Amino acid sequence: MKIDLIPTICPYCGCGCGLNLVNVDGEIKGVEPWKRNPVNEGKLCPKGNFSYEFINHKERLKTPLIKENGQFREASWDEALNAIFRELKKIIDEDPDLVAFLSSARCTNEDNYVLQKFARAVIGTNNIDNCAALCHGPTVSGLNLTFGSGAMTNSIKDMEKADCIFIIGSNPLEQHPLIGRRILKAKAKGSKIIVADPRYTPTAKHADLFLPLTPGTDVALLNSMMQVILKEGLEDQDFIRTRTRDFEKLKKVIENYSPDSVEHITGISAAKIENAALIYGEAEKSSIVYCLGITEHIMGMDNVMSLANLTMLTGNIGREGTGLNPLRGQNNVQGVCDMGALPFLYPGYKKYVLDNVRADTEYEWNCGPLNFLPGLQMVEILEAAYDGRMKAMYIMGENPVFSEPETMKVKESLLNLETLIVQDIFLTETAELADFVLPATSWAEKNGTFTNTERRVQLVRKAADPPGQAMEDWRIFCQLAQVMNSSEMFPYRSEEDIFEEIRSITPQYKGITYQRLKADGMYWPCPDEDHPGTPILHGEKFATPHGLGVFKPIELRSLPETPDDDYPLILSTGRIIFHYHNSNMTGKSKILGNEISKSFVEINPKDALKLGVSNQEMVKIITRHGEIETKVKITSKITHGIIFLPIHFLDGKPNLLTNSKVLDPSTKMPELKALAAKIEKI
C-alpha cells in the first residue's frame, strides 16, 4: 500500500483552510490536518473534513457530452471542441458581444485568468462575470467609492488583536467557521463581541451584546450609532482631518437618526443602540466583520458605505486589530475578481476604458485590438438571453439555474440561447440545459492558486488523477484556442507558466512566485520579489486617487417589499454549517447527509401559533414571485415576523421565491434577504 499526503486548500468557503489529502494507491481516501497552515492551524469544519467524499463519486462528469434531439451522447474532446468552434464562429462573425462567459469562484486563479483572456482576446467580448455579482458586488463598488479598494482590510489572524468585534449580517460560526474560531479566541482574550442579525445564530450566542434587528434597517442602526459616537466625542478628529474628506456631509445626515427615532424602525431599543455605539467607539481597536446580511439587499451598497463611514469616523482602519472586513464567500471569489473575470475590469482591477490599459494588454497578449465596449453583468446577461439579445453562453463552474433569482425565468433565458456550453464537474441543473457539457477536473486533481478572503494567495496541489477524460479548466480553453487558430496566445505548459503571466500584468501579484508561496502563501498587494506582502491595507493612505477616505452621507431606503395583509412575513434565505450552496458537493457526503439533507423553514413560535402549524408539518411558502413546499421548524431563535429558508436543498429551491426585476441600479444586486411572504397549510 502506498500512502501520500498532499497539502492543499479546502474547496469550499473563503477562509481558505489548508488540509492534507490522503492518496492511497492512487485514490483519495481522506483528509488529514495540515497543522502549520497559518489560516486554520490544522482545524477544519465539517465541510472541510469530508471534502474528499465527492471526488470519486460515480456521478462525476467523465467525457464531453453533446446534446442531440434532446438527449446527451458521449463525444471525444476533438469532436466536442470542433462542434463548439463551429457554433461560436457563426455567432462571433455576427457580433462577438452576442457571446457571454460566466467565470468561477470555485476554480483557480490560473483557470479564471485563462478564461477571461480567451473571452477578450479570442472571442472579443467583455461579457464576463462571476457569482460575486450576487454576493459581494456591493462591497467591491461601495468600498471602491469610500476606500478605493474593495478587499478585506485586515487579516484573519489580526482579528485576535481587536478589543471589539462588531459582526453585522454575518454568521461566521457557520459560514466561515475557521474565522469564527479566531473570533472566539479574541473573545477569550477579552474582546467584546457585538452581533447584529435578525436571527439568534450560533455566532450571536457568543455575543456580549446582541442586536436582533429588522432586516434591511442596518443604515438606520449605523447612522444612529454614529450620532451617539459624535455626541459622546468618541470620533477620531485627527483621523477625520488628515485622512478623509466630506465629513460635514455625513454629519448632516446622521443628525436625523437619534436612537429614540430609529427604535421602531430597527426593532432595537435606544439603550441597546447607545450601548453598541459606546462599546465600538470606546475600544482602542475595533474591527467590523460583515457578509451577506449587509450586501444581498437592493441597498447593499448603501449598507457597505455606511459601515465604511463608521470605520473612518472612529479611525478604526489601517492598524492592527481594526478594519472593515467583508468575509468573501467562495474559496476563490477574491481571486476570480483579481483575475479580471469582471465585465468592467481587466486583471488587477485595471480599467480597460482607458486607451493605455488596452494598448499595454494588447502588447502583453500579442493580440489584435481589444473590445472597449463595456461588458454586461450576470443578471443583464441573463436578461439579454431572455430577450434574444444574447446568443451563446459559456459557463464554467457556476450554477445559475439554482443560484440566480427567479429560477423559471433563468431556465427560459438559457433555453432561449442558440448555444449553451457548461463546464463543470457534475451534471448540474444548469448543465442539463446545455448543448455541450465539458468535464473539468476538481480541486483535488489540479494545481494552481486560490486567493482567500484575507487576500492570501495559496497553492492548490494535484493529489490524484482526474476521472475519465476530465481536463483542467484552463487546459480546455487552451485546446479550444488551438481549434480556433489562436494557440500562440496560450503557450502554457503548466499552471506556473500562467501564474508568471498573471504576475507580469497584475500589479498586486507582481512579487508573488510559486516558490515564495510554498511556505504559508502570501498576501497581496506584493509589489516586488523582496516585498513580504501586505496583511493590513490603508495604513498610511487610502487607495483612492487622492489617497483620502471619502465619507458618504447615506439615508435609509426602504426594502422593495414590506410585509402587508396579504404577505405578512419577511422571508430571508441563507446558509447552515453542513452544506454548501445547492449541496451538489456536500450532498454527496454520507456523513454530512446524515446531519441534514432536507429543506425546512424556521418560524418563530408566535407566528406558528397564529398560523396553526406544528413542528415538522409540510407547508407552502408563497411570495409574489412563486411558491415552494417545505417542512416547519419552530424556533425562538428567529425574530417574530421573519422566516428563514436555507438555500441548500433541491426539495425547497430558494430562488423559485425570489425576483430578478427589482435590482440595485448600480450593482444590479437583487433582494435575496427580505421578501414579503406568507405561509399556508397544505
x-or-dash string of contact with Mo ion, 58-97, rule CB under 5 A: ----------------------------------------
User: Which segment (38-46, 306-314, 350-358, 401-409) binds ligand SF4 by CB under 6 A?
Assistant: 38-46
Give CA torsion, residues 329, 117, 434, 66, to 10 deg.
Answer: -130
Q: Contact between 55 and ligand SF4 (CB under 6 A)? A: no
Shortest Cβ contact with Mo ion: which residue?
329
Looking at the Cβ atoms of 134 and 556, the one nearer to Mo ion is 134
In DSSP terms, 573 is beta-bridged to 645
Exposure b/e, 384-417, CB count within 10 A at least 16 = b: bbbeeebbbbbbbbbbbbbbbbbbebbbebbebb
Instruction: Return the one option of ligand MGD, ligand SF4, Mo ion, none that residue 473 interacts with (CB less than 5 to 8 A, by type).
Output: ligand MGD
What is the rounded distance in angstroms from the CA atom of residue 45 to the CA atom of residue 174? 9
What is the rounded distance in angstroms from the CA atom of residue 43 to the CA atom of residue 446? 23
| Out of 6, 7, 15, 52, the residue judged to bind ligand SF4 by CB under 6 A | 15
Provide the phi-psi class of 479: left if phi over 0, else alpha when psi is between -120 and 50, else beta. alpha
Instruction: Return the one option of Mo ion, ligand MGD, ligand SF4, none that residue 150 interacts with (CB less than 5 to 8 A, by type).
Output: none
How near is the Cβ of 384 to ligand SF4 at its closest, in Å?
34
In DSSP terms, 359 is beta-bridged to none
Site for Mo ion in 164-223 (CB under 5 A): none
What is the rounded distance in angstroms from the CA atom of residue 304 to the CA atom of residue 642? 23
Looking at the Cβ atoms of 550 and 559, the one nearer to ligand MGD is 559
Contacts of 651 (CB under 8 A, 6+ apart): 598, 599, 629, 630
| Out of 23, 40, 116, 287, the residue judged to bind ligand SF4 by CB under 6 A | 40
Assess contact for 346 and 126: CB atoms under 8 A.
no
- What single string gives the DSSP state of each residue in 377-394? PHHHHHHHHHTT---EEE
Task: Give the closest residue to 558 by CA, choosing from 298, 275, 209.
Answer: 298
Looking at the Cβ atoms of 218 and 236, the one nearer to ligand MGD is 218
User: Which segment (45-53, 252-260, 300-308, 654-662) binds ligand SF4 by CB under 6 A?
Assistant: 45-53
Q: What are phi and psi of 394, to 5 degrees?
A: -120, 115
Indicate the burial class of 40 (C-beta count within 10 angstroms; 0-12, 13-18, 19 or more). Answer: buried
User: Which segment (14-22, 336-344, 442-450, 477-485) binds ligand SF4 by CB under 6 A?
Assistant: 14-22
Shortest Cβ contact with ligand SF4: which residue?
48
Instruction: Return the one option of ligand SF4, ligand MGD, Mo ion, none that residue 397 interacts with (CB less than 5 to 8 A, by type).
Output: ligand MGD
- What single string gives the DSSP state of each residue in 654-680? GGGS--SSSB-TTT--B--S-EEEEEE
Q: Contact between 394 and ligand SF4 (CB under 6 A)? A: no
Instruction: Return the one option of ligand MGD, Mo ion, ligand SF4, none that residue 40 interacts with (CB less than 5 to 8 A, by type).
Output: ligand SF4
| Out of 45, 84, 88, 140, the residue judged to bind ligand SF4 by CB under 6 A | 45
Looking at the Cβ atoms of 12 and 542, the one nearer to ligand SF4 is 12
Looking at the Cβ atoms of 453 and 667, the one nearer to ligand SF4 is 453
Grid cell listed for 380: 443583464
DSSP 354: S
ω into 347 cis (within 30 of 0): no
Looking at the Cβ atoms of 118 and 450, the one nearer to ligand SF4 is 450
Helices (H), 351-453: 355-365, 378-386, 400-403, 407-415
Distances (CA, A) of 509 to 334, 353, 502, 525, 593: 13, 22, 7, 6, 39
DSSP 539: S
The strand pair at 392-396 and 419-424 is best described as parallel
The residues of the shown chain that bind ligand MGD, judged by CB under 6 A, are: 13, 104, 106-107, 131, 134-135, 168-171, 174-176, 196-199, 201, 213, 215-216, 218, 291-293, 296, 329-330, 396-400, 403, 423-426, 428, 440, 442-443, 473, 572-575, 577, 579-582, 584, 647, 654-655, 658, 672-673
How near is the Cβ of 174 to ligand MGD at its closest, in Å?
6
Grid cell listed for 629: 413546499
Sign of the Cα pseudo-torsion (350, 355, 358, 362, in order): negative
Q: Contact between 178 and ligand SF4 (CB under 6 A)? A: yes
How near is the Cβ of 333 to ligand SF4 at its closest, in Å?
12
| Out of 17, 115, 611, 677, the residue judged to bind ligand SF4 by CB under 6 A | 17
Distances (CA, A) of 250 to 138, 193, 199, 232, 541: 20, 26, 30, 17, 20
Looking at the Cβ atoms of 172 and 348, the one nearer to ligand MGD is 172
How far is residue 443 CA from its own chain's centroid?
Answer: 18
How near is the Cβ of 573 to ligand MGD at its closest, in Å?
4
Q: Contact between 135 and ligand SF4 (CB under 6 A)? A: no
| Out of 150, 315, 329, 549, the residue judged to bind Mo ion by CB under 5 A | 329
| Out of 15, 135, 229, 324, the residue judged to bind Mo ion by CB under 5 A | 135
| Out of 10, 151, 378, 628, the residue judged to bind ligand SF4 by CB under 6 A | 10
In DSSP terms, 370 is beta-bridged to none
How near is the Cβ of 179 to ligand SF4 at its closest, in Å?
7
User: Which segment (77-85, 128-136, 190-198, 295-303) binds Mo ion by CB under 5 A?
Assistant: 128-136
How near is the Cβ of 45 to ligand SF4 at its closest, in Å?
3
How near is the Cβ of 11 to ligand SF4 at its closest, in Å?
7
- How many chain residues are in contact with Mo ion, going by CB under 5 A? 2
Residue 193, amino acid: I
| Out of 6, 7, 8, 12, the residue judged to bind ligand SF4 by CB under 6 A | 12
Q: Contact between 44 and ligand SF4 (CB under 6 A)? A: yes
Task: Give the closest residue to 285 by CA, choosing from 309, 312, 319, 308.
Answer: 319
Q: Contact between 289 and ligand SF4 (CB under 6 A)? A: no
Interface ranges with ligand SF4 (CB under 6 A): 10, 12-13, 15-17, 40, 44-45, 47-48, 177-178
Interface ranges with Mo ion (CB under 5 A): 135, 329
